[in-house]
């Protein structure tokens, strides 16, 4: 029996993974223990899910035994249900739904591919609109059209275009199955068969290791659970409409009580105290013994009065449980969890600035241990340990011989050629060869301050490593509205901004509403300025005017938002350069004093 306090959640998982793998390998003068004879007990189901995935990353095979499967927690289930709703004619897909599917499990695209897909579709649409002399369509309509008419070839010859065509073929096959009189379960089968994920996940689950195999097992279990939900709905001839059933699946956080066959494999059981009732294991690790979490003394059953009803049914007074009763229940769960261990018990709590061990952890103070090992007992972990030792002591012969042996066996990360910073740079040539007397260096005025503040940040952004944001994208639209404005009309400029609204990357509807209010305030301020300009004696020289000024071997290039001229009393012409600022933070007054 050992109680240990660690400094972080990551170290906590490292300690547990090290102990479980050590027992599996038979280290520490102990016999080898099967994975199935080990368990990790967490206080809540959500914590059990998190711990299960994290242990899989440490190459500890895990299986959840905490009351069934919550279907909505699995992305593949959410995507299949959304496609099924569309195929059954319940809720048609929107443009955002299609892009979400393309970037999900079924589409298989990453965020960069999604961004490239959006850009390629918009570029092609603008070319077509220019040729047909019409206004270009929004991105939502373009992706919906690509899915509605998949055709023989992708609308864009790229991974994104092929993903859209694949989704279109899926929806078409499912719609045909439904129109032919197929049940919702048969329609779901048409969708699942079209994804072609079954064979790949089966191979990963049976042959793979680590996180990938663990996720494949969970995903296949979740899909089976979804099929059995629809099968039960058909066999019981339920009066509940299928639309309501699918909505409930996406909203319910209650584990499914399904008769579906779960995948059986040798794995460490990750469960809750309730899930461990009636079971014993050789090695048990207990987590979650944190202040405020275990014991959890918050009132329970106060809304429906379930605890009071239970007391009344037993012949006692119908009153809610007291704090003392709740503490007794929590202690009983903790003792029950610890009693699941036959040979070895490990209780690990986190002690840092935000988390502290609970009073229950103090019950094991006689068995407290310090500095338990948390390194990974894997080949990659061994490589990391040997490299760390060599970095601290280059003369460590044992570490040198060990990493050389690992490299001969082609263990990933052991060969020096794979180490970061060891290989020479691909090129040492300058960005601009100043040895060429005819070569000049282009300089952007808007980037001068950024280069002075952080040269590295400027270099990364200039070479294409920067990322845009919503504020910058909105500013681009406002600049365009000012450039094309024919009069001081705030509504007209706002309409010009909203015409390109679909290009802005909103993550939620409230962000769109907030950005619209901000755009309205900006266009109203611009309209007020234009009215004051029209009432003055200034004249407009140009909008979005490009300039290029050679300064020694540098060329200052940029674009002025507006150039205005004023005729002074002495006959001279005074030029005013306007730079429209749309960022969150207005420039400081001291910045203007430089000019």
pLDDT for 65 beyond 80: no
C-alpha distance from residue 398 to each of 389, 405, 409, 507 (Å): 9, 11, 17, 52
Residue 347 is predicted with a pLDDT of: 93
Closest by CA position to 523, among listed 577, 561, 477, 563:
477
> What is the distance between the alpha carbons of residues 406 and 485, in angstroms, rounded to a whole number?
68
Angle between helices 210-235 and 198-207 (to 10 degrees): 130
Reduced 3-state DSSP string for 168-188: HHHHHHHHHHHHCCCCHHHHH
The encoded tokens of residue 2 equal: 């050992």
Residue 155 is predicted with a pLDDT of: 85
Residue 171 is predicted with a pLDDT of: 92
Confidence of residue 83 (pLDDT cuts 50, 70, 90): very high
Residue 312 is predicted with a pLDDT of: 78
pLDDT for 293 beyond 80: yes
Residue 467 is predicted with a pLDDT of: 57
DSSP annotation of 462:
I
- Work out the percent of the chain whose per-residue pLDDT is above 90: 16
Rounded average pLDDT over 114-118: 88
Reduced 3-state DSSP string for 398-452: HHHHHHHHHHHCCCCCCCHHHCCCCCCCCCCCCCCCCCCCCCCEEECHHHHHHHH
Are 555 and 440 a contacting pair, CB within 8 Å? yes
- Work out the percent of the chain whose per-residue pLDDT is above 70: 91
Residue 588 is predicted with a pLDDT of: 57
The encoded tokens of residue 360 equal: 């229950």
Residue 210 is predicted with a pLDDT of: 62
Residues in the chain: 595
Half-sphere exposure of 206 (CA within 13 A, CB side): 6
Rounded average pLDDT over 200-207: 82
> What is the distance between the alpha carbons of residues 362 and 294, in angstroms, rounded to a whole number?
12
pLDDT for 209 beyond 70: no
> What is the distance between the alpha carbons of residues 166 and 93, in angstroms, rounded to a whole number?
15
Dihedral over Cα of 447, 450, 451, 457: its sign: negative
Rounded average pLDDT over 70-96: 89
Rounded average pLDDT over 302-322: 73
How many other CB atoms are there within 10 angstroms of residue 175's CB atom? Answer: 16
Rounded average pLDDT over 198-209: 79
Alpha helices (H) in 441-535, listed in sequence order: 445-453, 455-460, 470-484, 490-498, 509-535
Mean per-residue pLDDT of the chain: 83
Alpha helices (H) in 91-133, listed in sequence order: 95-102, 111-132
Angle at 422 between CA 421 and CA 427, to 5 degrees: 75
Q: Is 269 helix (H, G, I), strand (E, B) or coil?
A: strand
Q: Give the torsion through C-alpha atoms of 97, 102, 107, 109, to 10 deg.
A: -150
pLDDT per residue as tens digits for the range 73-82:
888 999 999 9
E strand or H helix at 344, and its extent? Answer: strand 341-350
pLDDT for 198 beyond 50: yes
> What is the distance between the alpha carbons of residues 557 and 120, in angstroms, rounded to a whole number?
28
Closest by CA position to 69, among listed 220, 212, 191:
220
pLDDT for 575 beyond 90: no
The encoded tokens of residue 436 equal: 């060429």
**DSSP state string for 188-218:** HHHHHHHHT-HHHHHHHHHH--HHHHHHHHH
How many other CB atoms are there within 10 angstroms of residue 256's CB atom? Answer: 20
368: left (phi over 0), alpha (psi -120 to 50) or beta: beta
487: left (phi over 0), alpha (psi -120 to 50) or beta: beta
pLDDT per residue as tens digits for the range 346-381:
999 998 888 889 999 989 888 988 888 877 777 888
Confidence of residue 260 (pLDDT cuts 50, 70, 90): very low
pLDDT for 400 beyond 50: yes
Closest by CA position to 221, among listed 69, 424, 444, 360:
69
pLDDT per residue as tens digits for the range 17-47:
989 988 888 887 678 899 889 999 998 888 8
> What is the distance between the alpha carbons of residues 564 and 574, in angstroms, rounded to a whole number?
8
Residue 460 is predicted with a pLDDT of: 76
Residue 573 is predicted with a pLDDT of: 85
Are 329 and 272 a contacting pair, CB within 8 Å? no
Question: What backbone torsions phi and psi does residue 267 show, to the nearest 5 degrees?
Answer: -155, 160
The encoded tokens of residue 86 equal: 């569309």
Residue 177 is predicted with a pLDDT of: 92
Confidence of residue 257 (pLDDT cuts 50, 70, 90): low
Rounded average pLDDT over 464-480: 74
Domains identified in the chain and CATH numbers? 2-68+264-305+321-369 (3.40.50.300), 71-251 (1.10.486), 379-418 (no CATH), 470-592 (no CATH)
pLDDT for 281 beyond 90: yes
Residue 192 is predicted with a pLDDT of: 93
Highest-pLDDT range among 99-108, 299-308, 545-554? 99-108
Confidence of residue 259 (pLDDT cuts 50, 70, 90): very low
Q: Give the torsion through C-alpha atoms of 393, 396, 402, 403, to 10 deg.
A: 30
Instruction: Pick the range with the lowest mean pLDDT from 250-259, 449-458, 516-525.
Output: 250-259
DSSP annotation of 255:
P
Closest by CA position to 148, among listed 194, 86, 105, 195:
86
Rounded average pLDDT over 67-86: 85
Confidence of residue 324 (pLDDT cuts 50, 70, 90): confident
Are 42 and 269 a contacting pair, CB within 8 Å? no
Residue 261 is predicted with a pLDDT of: 46
Closest by CA position to 1, among listed 356, 285, 333, 288:
285
What pTM was estimated for this model as a whole? 0.57
pLDDT for 258 beyond 60: no
Are 541 and 563 a contacting pair, CB within 8 Å? yes
> In which residue are the tokens 């001081």 written?
488
Q: Is 2 helix (H, G, I), strand (E, B) or coil?
A: strand
The answer to whether the bond into 295 is cis (omega within 30° of 0) is yes
H and E: helices and strands count for the chain? 21, 11
Closest by CA position to 66, among listed 282, 255, 304:
255
């Amino acid at each position: 029996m050992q109680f240990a306090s660690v400094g972080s959640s990551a170290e906590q998982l490292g300690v547990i993974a090290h102990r479980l793998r050590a027992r599996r390998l038979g280290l520490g003068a102990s016999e080898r223990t099967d994975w199935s004879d080990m368990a990790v007990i967490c206080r809540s189901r959500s914590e059990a899910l998190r711990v299960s995935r994290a242990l899989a990353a440490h190459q500890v095979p895990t299986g959840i035994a905490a009351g069934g499967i919550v279907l909505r927690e699995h992305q593949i289930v959410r995507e299949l249900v959304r496609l099924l709703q569309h195929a059954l004619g319940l809720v048609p897909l929107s443009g955002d739904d299609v892009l979400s599917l393309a970037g999900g499990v079924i589409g298989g695209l990453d965020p960069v591919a999604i961004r490239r897909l959006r850009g390629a579709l918009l570029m092609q649409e603008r070319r077509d609109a220019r040729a047909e002399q019409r206004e270009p369509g929004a991105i939502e309509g373009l992706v919906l059209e690509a899915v509605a008419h998949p055709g023989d070839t992708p609308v864009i010859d790229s991974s994104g275009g092929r993903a859209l065509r694949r989704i279109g073929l899926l929806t078409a096959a499912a719609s045909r199955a439904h129109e032919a009189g197929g049940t919702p379960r048969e329609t779901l089968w048409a969708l699942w068969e079209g994804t072609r994920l079954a064979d790949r996940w089966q191979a990963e689950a049976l042959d793979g290791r680590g996180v990938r195999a663990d996720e494949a097992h969970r995903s296949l279990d979740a899909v089976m659970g979804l099929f059995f939900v629809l099968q039960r709905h058909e066999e019981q001839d339920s009066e509940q409409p299928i639309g309501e059933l699918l909505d409930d699946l996406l909203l319910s956080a209650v584990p499914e009580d399904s008769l579906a066959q779960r995948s059986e494999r040798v794995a460490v059981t990750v469960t809750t105290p309730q899930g461990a009732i009636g079971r014993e294991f050789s090695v048990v690790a207990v987590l979650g013994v944190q202040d405020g979490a275990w014991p959890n003394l918050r009132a329970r059953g106060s809304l429906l009065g379930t605890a009071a009803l239970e007391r009344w049914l037993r012949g006692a007074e119908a009153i809610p449980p007291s704090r003392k009763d709740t503490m007794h229940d929590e202690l009983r769960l903790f003792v029950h969890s610890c009693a699941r261990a036959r040979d070895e018990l490990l209780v690990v709590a986190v002690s840092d600035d935000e988390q502290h061990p609970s009073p229950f952890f103090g019950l094991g103070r006689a068995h407290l241990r310090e500095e338990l090992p948390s390194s990974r007992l894997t080949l990659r972990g061994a490589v990391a340990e040997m490299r760390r030792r060599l970095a601290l002591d280059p003369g460590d012969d044992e570490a040198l011989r060990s990493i050389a042996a690992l490299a001969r066996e082609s263990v990933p990360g052991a060969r020096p050629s794979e180490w970061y910073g060891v290989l020479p740079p691909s090129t040492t040539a300058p960005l601009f060869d100043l040895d060429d007397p005819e070569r000049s260096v282009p300089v952007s005025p808007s980037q001068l301050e950024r280069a002075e503040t952080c040269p590295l940040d400027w270099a990364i952004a200039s070479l294409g490593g920067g990322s845009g944001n919503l504020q910058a994208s909105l500013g681009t639209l406002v600049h365009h509205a000012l450039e094309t404005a024919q009069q001081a009309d705030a509504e007209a400029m706002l309409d010009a901004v909203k015409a390109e609204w679909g290009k802005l990357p909103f993550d939620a509807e409230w962000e769109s509403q907030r950005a619209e209010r901000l755009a309205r305030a900006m266009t109203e301020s611009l309209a007020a300025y234009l009215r004051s300009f029209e009432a003055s004696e200034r004249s407009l020289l140009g909008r979005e005017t490009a300039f290029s000024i050679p300064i020694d071997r540098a060329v200052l290039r940029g674009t002025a938002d507006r150039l205005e001229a004023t005729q002074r009393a002495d006959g001279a012409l005074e030029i005013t350069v306007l730079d429209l600022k749309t960022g969150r933070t207005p420039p400081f007054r001291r910045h203007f004093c430089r000019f």
